Chains A and B, each alone.
Chain A
């Protein structure tokens, strides 16, 4: 189980501060990865990030609305194929 950030994310960053396993990463380069992303292999599903999000853009995977379904694969892809944690270093 994991949480997922959807495309209404405004890159506020409050979620990063509270994540106890530091698995939320700001997408870079921004034009290619415009949101923040959650690593599904590391997320412990604690939900700490949910109340922090000012625009309610974080959901448990099973509660993601159909219109945002693509976000599940995009969060995964950011870590599997995209820069993943390396984005923190740039």
Chain B
């Protein structure tokens, strides 16, 4: 069966880095293992028009991924495909997985979307593919309308999906349990991507864009339930690959694909510290520690011991991030982060003494914040003084506790999924005394106060990669100062003009 996996174009108000979509890379791999002919069409880097791609490849099944700001692009892509031919179109990704807010049905209600696979997609995707393949073998020219005929009853046994039958009725099956054995999954299929077209995810070295940078997942999930985090839509059970399985893939990335840097994308890599110690030992023993790697999404500060971080440094770890979130004790307790500031201080100290670079993720505008609490966050960032401080505007994503709180007690300021981005300097909601103006002022102050300290300015301009990538650096700075207009803002302007 011919299977196309599509990443719709991500329209963002600022320039960001592009990296192969790991979710599609896993789906591509599992479809290849099933025996399908697979193509990945990443509209972020593709220059071929979609219509030409469809005519050339003629897929029989299309999967489209979407996070919240991407979902409308996914619907537009689905519409363009259906104009070409009535083949089954399946959406997946975090946005459509929020069944509690009926966001699976929201997509299924679109005329051009046939089905949604919620949560971890691999097993559901293969079951859908198996059924379709059998149907196509019996009748190769079946249309989606025929496949979604309620009398056929093809889909009701597949867990974790929502779908629309041709009588326009919506259906939802029970949630699928999390994949227990991650070692059973194939490695991501990077051969399906035009790797030379991507930038590196988060430059860890002085290598210029286009360097061979790869991502890896050594575990999935997070047992913590921070109120702002979209991980809460995923199963609470944290699962890990064995160190042996991870090392085998790591060797493949380094030796077969020529990886120059590796980004570990786990949500909580250090839940079992012994596993990471074993992984580090394995990387050292197998002489894979010469390629620098980083924890892109952060690790738990309460589980970052000196022994562990020193061992990881020996294993090639160059940089790690921590989700610090806030400098205020009460706000920190209110977001269920289950960590305290002294523990965070200790984690940064341990990493710096081990010779590791650090990133701090901070949030401006959490529920209950005041000017004083936000100032404490900025001051705490300066005290920790990571190499990179990232200040995000609190964006209440559907499925999170903060989203529920804002819906109940505040007022959302964005009314278009495409504006749900958190790094663009625009407040997303107001609540109580926390006005948009205050949050936006403090967000700008955070960047100014942190990065315009004399020693920081000096540190930045003396970094080699700052000058190697100077064209991109200035382009990003320009877009950050002058972002593209958002959809909500454009709509208001059009309404005012009318």
Is B a genuine binding partner of A?
Answer: yes
Instruction: Tell me if A12 counts as interface (CB < 8 A to partner B).
Output: no
Q: Pick from B225, B236, B271: contact of A44, CB below 8 A.
A: B271
A25 to B233, CA, bound (A): 27
Residue A65 at the B interface, CB < 8 A?
Answer: no
> Smallest Cβ distance from A65 to chain B, in angstroms?
20
A20 at the interface (CB under 8 A from B): yes
Q: Which of B271, B336, B338 contacts A20 (CB 8 A)?
A: B271
A18 near B271: Cβ-Cβ < 8 Å: no
A53-74 contacts to B, CB under 8 A, are none
A-chain residues with CB within 8 Å of residue B221 when the two chains form the complex: 20
A20 → chain B closest CB, angstroms = 4
- Given that A20-B271, A21-B272 are known contacts, is A47 also in contact with B338, CB under 8 Å in the complex? yes
CB B423 to nearest CB in A, in angstroms, measures 28
Contacts of A18 in B (CB 8 A): 223, 236-237
3 A-B pairs with the lowest CB-CB distances in the bound complex, closest first: A20-B238, A20-B223, A46-B223
Q: List 17 A-B contacts (CB under 8 A).
A: A1-B302, A17-B237, A18-B236, A20-B223, A20-B272, A21-B238, A44-B271, A44-B300, A44-B302, A44-B303, A45-B302, A45-B338, A46-B224, A47-B224, A48-B224, A48-B225, A48-B236
Residue ranges of A at the interface with B (Cβ–Cβ < 8 Å): 1, 17-21, 44-48
Say yes or no: A20 contacts B237, CB within 8 Å. Answer: yes
Docked pose: A45 CA to B271 CA in angstroms: 10
Task: Tell me the interface secondary structure of chain B in the complex.
Answer: loop
What's the tally of chain B residues with a CB closer than 8 Å to chain A?
14
Q: Nearest CB to that of B221 among chain A residues? A: A20
CB distance from A15 to the nearest CB of B (A): 11
A49 → B minimal CB distance (Å): 9
**Complex interface: chain A residues within 8 A of B300 (CB):** 44
- In whole angstroms, how far apart are the Cα atoms of A45 and B302 in the complex? 9
Beta-carbon contacts under 8 Å, B276-317 to A: 300, 302-303
| Smallest CB separation, B346 vs chain A (Å) | 13
List the B residue with the shortest CB-CB distance to A45. Answer: B338
Across the interface, which residues of A come within 8 angstroms of B224, CB to CB?
A: 46-48
Contact with A along B131-159 (1 / 0, CB 8 A): 00000000000000000000000000000
Q: How far is the CA of A17 from the CA of B236 in the complex (A)?
A: 10
Closest A residue to B240 by beta carbon equals: A20
A18 to chain B, nearest CB (A): 5
Asked if A46 contacts B237 (CB within 8 A), the reply is no
| Complex interface: chain A residues within 8 A of B338 (CB) | 45-47
CB neighbours of B238 from chain A (8 A):
20-21
In the complex, residue of chain A having the shortest beta-carbon distance to the beta carbon of B340:
A1
